[in-house]
Amino acid sequence: MLAMRTLAWAAVVGVTVASPIARAEEESGLDALRAEMVRMQEEHQRSLRALEDRVLRAEDVARNAEARVSAAHAGDGPVPDVAAGSSRTLANTFNPSIGVVLDGRYRAYSRSPSDPGIPGFALDGEAGPGSEGISLGETELQFDASIDDKFRGSLTLALADDGGTTETELENAFIETAALADGLTLRGGRFFSGIGYLNAHHAHTDNFTDRPLMYRTFLGGQLADDGVQARWVAPTDLFIEIGGELLRGKGFPGNASESSGTGAWTLYAHVAGDVGTDHSWRTGLSYLTADARGRSTGDGDLFSGTADVTLVDAIYKWAPNGNSTERNLTLQAEVARFDEDGRFTPMGGSAMNLDRHSYGFYAQGVYQFCRGWRAGLRYGQLQTESLGAAYSGTTLDRMSHRPEQWSAMMDWTNSEFGRIRLQYSLDESAPRSNSRITAQYVMSFGAHAAHKY
């Protein structure tokens, strides 16, 4: 009994002594928590004040930059470099868009094109169909960048195979305005003329491996020249473009650049629009006049005078719901009139008056029947006047022949950067027909500007 009382008193004494100690420990822990919360609140407030200061400083920098740019636009000074504080805004000065287009071909002919001439027409040296066998087409190096807020620049170097040798050609090198008002754009340098439809396009964007007969005969394949160009796009829902060019005149059909430095000029107008979501179209009228001074055809013939080209172009595109990924159709045609007025001197002969009109056209259709696969058909023809017995045996003797050419192609596009094409052409531009098979790849890498419509 005594033992039980002793244990009870011991328990009461233990509880009485332990309770204040536990309460003291609990209060100590709460104080620590309160202190930690105060410290975290103070740290959060410091971080918030620092963030607010950074936002205020950034807003000040932006306001200052806007003020400097506004002053520059108003003509009060040069455009500033916001990042470095210099006097130029060149976001991509050291980072222009650089792209490479690789174009390789294999050609097989039923008849060796030792003489690629077309009876009745004086051709430029690049009008031929190209050499047989494996060769490179035009490998292009493209550089494009904004120069500042008002100009952009573009440079294209073409490495072309010419009879087994590789030639480097400056294809495009121009500057262009970027911010003129009212839809006006000015361009200066070397560029593809805006006449017609195909002429303004790089060859690697063509739907066939070669240019139509009409382009090869009247424009030497493609008119590129040094000069200035002005284009105006009307501020309307319907696309209306009017342009003109003053050119040096060294590109076929002219060659009078050495006389005055302005041997050719052009005028053109294009209109385009949409019909619903599935259909779009474009049509245009263009005119070129060029001076020729002793222009050689390569066969020893010479022409001096004026050559005029009038072009009418039309293109129609269809894609269901505007989505061309699976299926699409493109129909395209151009008609040209070629006028020559001057003096023609055949090799070993005397100069004769020449005043004649020639015509040419092509029409083509390309249908993508499933993703990546397309098939196309093209027909082209040339016609010219008979010049009589005086021109018999010369380059301009048409030999009662009507040049024409059929082409059929199929290509496979794995992505927007690569295409493989196979084409068959029945070339009857000469009295003896020639069957040609061409296999081609066109691959690109790096930055690449969007293609024209």
**Between residues 85 and 150, which one has the greater pLDDT?**
150
Compute the average pLDDT of residues 234-254.
Answer: 94
- What is the identity of the amino acid at 123? L
d(CA 338, CA 122): 12
Which two tokens mark 269?
């107008």
**Between residues 142 and 44, which one has the greater pLDDT?**
142
- Among 75-89, 290-304, 424-438, which is the least confidently predicted range? 75-89
Q: Give, for 15, the enclosing helix (H) or strand (E).
A: helix 2-73
- Max avg pLDDT among 33-47, 116-130, 145-159: 145-159
What is the C-alpha R_g of the chain? Answer: 37
For 99-137, write each residue's pLDDT tens digit: 999 999 999 999 876 666 888 998 886 667 778 888 887
For 167-193, write each residue's pLDDT tens digit: 888 999 999 998 787 899 999 999 999
What integer pLDDT is reported at residue 259 of this predicted model?
Answer: 60
d(CA 226, CA 192): 9
CB 399 within 8 A of CB 376: no
The dihedral through the CA atoms of 10, 15, 20, 26 has a sign that is positive
**Between residues 387 and 130, which one has the greater pLDDT?**
387
Model confidence at 258, in pLDDT bands (50, 70, 90)? low
What integer pLDDT is reported at residue 305 of this predicted model?
Answer: 93
**Between residues 346 and 22, which one has the greater pLDDT?**
346
> With 0-12 CB in 10 A as exposed, 13-18 as middle and 19+ as buried, what is 206?
middle
- Whether pLDDT at 76 is above 80: no
Residues 6+ apart with CB under 8 A from 435: 109, 110, 111, 424, 425, 426, 427
- Whether pLDDT at 400 is above 70: yes
Residues 6+ apart with CB under 8 A from 339: 306, 307, 308, 309, 310, 356, 357, 358
Residues 6+ apart with CB under 8 A from 234: 183, 240, 241, 242
What integer pLDDT is reported at residue 78 of this predicted model?
Answer: 39
Residues 6+ apart with CB under 8 A from 372: 412, 413, 414
Distance of CA 331 to the CA centre of its chain: 20
Distances (CA, A) of 445 to 139, 172, 235, 391: 12, 19, 35, 51
Q: How far apart are the first and last CA of the chain?
A: 112
**pTM over cut 0.85:** no
Distances (CA, A) of 42 to 31, 48, 320: 17, 10, 63
